[in-house]
C-alpha cells in the first residue's frame, strides 16, 4: 500500500471523489486548511526605502494582514500498482482546462 496526499481547492472535491470512486478507491481522509497559492516577495517602503519582504514574515509579526485561500488536503491509500493511475485521475479531475 502507498499513501497519496494532495492539496486541492474545495470546489474540485466532487470531481476528485468521483474520479477516485470510478477507479475503486472507497476510503479517503479530507482535512480543511488555509494557505497561500505560492510564496512571493512583496515590495514595501520603510523609511522611504523600498525593501523586499516575505509576506509570511509580516503576517507572523502581525503588521499586515495576509490573505489566505481555503484548501483541502486529501489522503488516500492505494495498492502500489495503482499509484500512477490514481495520481493521473486526480490530476485530470483538478485540471483547470490548460494543457501541459
Q: What is the DSSP string of 71-100?
A: EEEEEEEE-GGGHHHHHHHHHHHH--S---
pTM equals 0.64
Residue ranges of domains in the chain, CATH in brackets: 2-94 (3.30.70.120)
Q: What is the mean pLDDT of residues 21-48?
A: 72
Q: Tens digit of pLDDT for each residue in 55-98?
A: 555 544 444 445 567 889 999 999 999 999 999 999 999 987 65
pLDDT at 64: 47
pLDDT at 58: 54
Does residue 76 contact residue 27 with C-beta atoms inside 8 Å?
Answer: yes
Residues in the chain: 100
pLDDT at 9: 87
The percentage of residues in the chain with a pLDDT greater than 70, rounded to a whole number, is: 61
Q: What is the mean pLDDT of the chain?
A: 77
Q: Report in angstroms the alpha-carbon separations of 57 from 6, 24, 45, 72.
A: 25, 43, 15, 23
Range in 7-11, 50-54, 83-87 with the lowest mean pLDDT: 50-54
Amino acid at each position: 500500500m502507498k499513501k497519496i496526499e494532495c492539496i486541492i481547492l474545495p470546489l474540485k472535491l466532487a470531481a476528485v471523489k468521483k474520479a477516485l470512486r470510478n477507479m475503486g478507491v472507497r476510503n479517503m481522509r479530507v482535512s480543511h486548511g488555509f494557505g497561500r497559492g505560492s510564496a512571493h516577495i512583496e515590495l514595501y517602503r520603510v523609511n522611504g526605502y523600498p525593501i523586499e519582504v516575505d509576506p509570511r514574515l509580516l503576517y507572523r509579526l502581525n503588521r499586515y494582514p495576509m490573505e489566505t485561500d481555503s484548501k483541502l488536503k486529501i489522503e488516500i491509500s492505494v495498492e502500489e500498482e495503482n499509484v500512477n493511475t490514481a495520481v493521473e485521475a486526480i490530476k485530470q479531475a483538478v485540471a483547470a482546462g490548460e494543457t501541459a
